[in-house]
């Protein structure tokens, strides 16, 4: 398995280079260093000298990919691409356009993201699996058909509706929890109740429907009939027989998400005022802060690759017949 993991990590390098190159090119097609300088310096009295000074201070006064004035390797290394993107591979994220250290910001912001994303993820999976198993128990009945209808209805509703509806009812009208905010002095949990609740409820439709499909396939297998013939209770059949056998497809969709939990959610964080990485990314896009965007895309790519790797590894745990080679 070790060799497999090493091989997968080596495969990741060209993927990361490609992602990096693509992000860099896309960003600079839209936004030249002059544009970036102008937007950072404001709308008034922006002189060419001010733009040049800003570019020099922030390292944007070099050629993009190739520096013909430099000699030897410096032709490639003395460029914006090398300075700003290649250094990411050494996890040197540098500074945002406003001068803040990105590594420090990421390290600070990932915890609030995790504080919301982890309970939403765990509670969401638990609820979805339980609901799906319950529906499977009544497969073919009116309850099953009604549940599928409800699932599809829940899926059809926009995520924004859940957020705004939840805020309006629970926080504004009933005044049960704060409508938004996050601080670590005192009761953090009261800021998490609503975003977690919204995240879980918004995911029930798609999640439970998907798991129901997986469990239904297993429910018709011979080993289930055998278990039932042996006198196993329905609950035992569901949780001890069907669920473990349906784990492989569940893990495929779930484990890959685990590392990305650090990245947070753009919408939830933005609407609930959670100072996590999701809102960090959104703010960076809004303020055209390329340094943050490229760092976040890079981190996101790495976490996704780790997620895929973990998924493969988890198969061996879920099904001992699977061997990675």
Partner 1 sequence: MLFRLAAPRTRAAQLLIGAALLAGCTDGPWNNPNPESPPGLVTYQSVMTPLPPKHLDPALSYASDESLFLMQIYEPPMGYHYLKRPYELLPLGVEDFPQITYINAEGETIDPEAEDVAYSVYELTVRADARYQPHPAFAVDDRGAPRYLFADASESRPYRQISDFPELGSRPVAANDYVYAIKRLADPFNASPMLGFMAQYIVGMEDFSARLKDVPRDGWVNLDDYTMDGLQVVDDRTFRITIKGRYPQFSYWLAMHFFSPIAPEVDRFFHNPGFLDRNLTLDWWPVGSGPFMMVKNDPNSEIVLERNPNFREDYFPMEGAPGDAEQGLLEDAGKRLPLIDRAVFRLEKEVLSLWTKFLQGYYDRSGESHGNTNRVFDQAFVVGPNGVELGAELASHGITVSPDVKPAIYYYGFNMRDPVLGGYSEERRKLRRALQIAFDTEEYLNIFYKGNGIAAQSPIPPGIPGFVEGEAGINPYVYDWVDGAPKRKSIEHARQLLTEAGYPNGRDARTGEPLKIFIDVQSQAISSTSMNWMDRAFGRIGVQVEYRPADWNRTREKLLTGNTQIFSHGWLADYPDPENFLFLLYGPESPLICKCDGANNASYERPEYDELFRQMRILPPGEERDALVARMVDLYREDAVWLFGYYPKDIYLNNPWVHNNKRHGISKNTLKYVRIDDDLRERKREEWNQPVIWPLYAMSALLVALLLPGIIAYRRRLRATARQ
Residues in region 17-76 near partner 1 by CB under 8 A: 31-32, 35, 38-42, 44-50, 53-54, 56-58
Residues 126-165 that bind partner 1 (CB under 8 A): 134, 137-138, 143, 164
**Measured distance CA(161)–CA(180) in Å, rounded:** 16
Give the nearest distance from C-beta 324 to partner 1 in angstroms.
Answer: 36
Binding test (CB under 8 A) with partner 1, winner from 225, 233, 317, 322:
233
Nearest residue (CB) to partner 1, 118 versus 193: 193
Residues 92-111 that bind partner 1 (CB under 8 A): 95, 97-101, 103-105, 108-109
Closest CA to 120 of 269, 20, 11: 269
Residues 254-313 that bind partner 1 (CB under 8 A): 270-273, 275, 279-280, 283, 286-287
CB 183 within 8 A of CB 110: no
Give the nearest distance from C-beta 55 to partner 1 in angstroms.
Answer: 9
**Measured distance CA(205)–CA(191) in Å, rounded:** 24
Count of residues touching partner 1 (by CB under 8 A): 72
**Measured distance CA(51)–CA(31) in Å, rounded:** 14
Nearest residue (CB) to partner 1, 44 versus 230: 44
Residue carrying the six token digits 């059949």: 237
Give the nearest distance from C-beta 116 to partner 1 in angstroms.
Answer: 14
Give the nearest distance from C-beta 1 to partner 1 in angstroms.
Answer: 36
CA 127 to chain centre: 20
**Measured distance CA(59)–CA(53) in Å, rounded:** 10
CB 84 within 8 A of CB 24: yes
191 lies in the site for partner 1, by CB under 8 A: yes
Tell me if residue 102 falls in helix, strand or coil.
Answer: helix
């Amino acid at each position: 398995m070790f060799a497999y993991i090493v091989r997968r990590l080596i495969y990741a390098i060209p993927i990361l280079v490609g992602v990096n190159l693509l992000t860099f090119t896309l960003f600079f097609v839209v936004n030249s260093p002059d544009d970036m300088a102008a937007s950072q310096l404001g709308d008034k009295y922006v002189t060419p000298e001010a733009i040049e000074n800003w570019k020099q201070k922030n390292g944007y006064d070099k050629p993009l990919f190739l520096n013909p004035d430099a000699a030897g390797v410096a032709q490639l290394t003395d460029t914006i691409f090398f300075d700003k993107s290649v250094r990411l591979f050494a996890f040197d994220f540098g500074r945002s356009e406003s001068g803040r250290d990105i590594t420090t910001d990421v390290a600070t912001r990932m915890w609030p993201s995790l504080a919301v994303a982890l309970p939403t993820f765990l509670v969401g999976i638990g609820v979805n699996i339980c609901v799906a198993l319950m529906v499977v128990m009544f497969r073919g009945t009116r309850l099953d058909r009604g549940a599928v209808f409800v699932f599809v209805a829940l899926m059809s509703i926009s995520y924004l509706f859940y957020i705004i509806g939840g805020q309006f009812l629970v926080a504004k009208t009933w005044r049960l929890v704060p409508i938004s905010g996050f601080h670590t002095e005192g009761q953090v949990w009261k800021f998490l109740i609503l975003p977690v609740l919204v995240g879980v409820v918004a995911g029930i439709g798609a999640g439970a429907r998907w798991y129901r499909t997986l469990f239904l396939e297993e429910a018709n297998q011979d080993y289930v009939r055998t278990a039932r013939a042996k006198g196993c209770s329905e609950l035992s059949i569901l949780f001890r027989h069907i669920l473990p056998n349906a784990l492989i497809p569940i893990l495929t969709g779930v484990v890959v998400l685990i590392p990305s939990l650090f990245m947070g959610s753009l919408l939830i964080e933005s609407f609930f005022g959670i100072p996590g990485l999701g809102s960090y990314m959104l703010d960076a896009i809004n303020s055209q802060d390329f340094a943050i965007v490229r760092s976040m895309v890079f981190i996101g790519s790495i976490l996704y690759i780790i997620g895929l790797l973990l998924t493969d590894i988890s198969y061996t745990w879920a099904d001992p017949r699977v061997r990675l080679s």
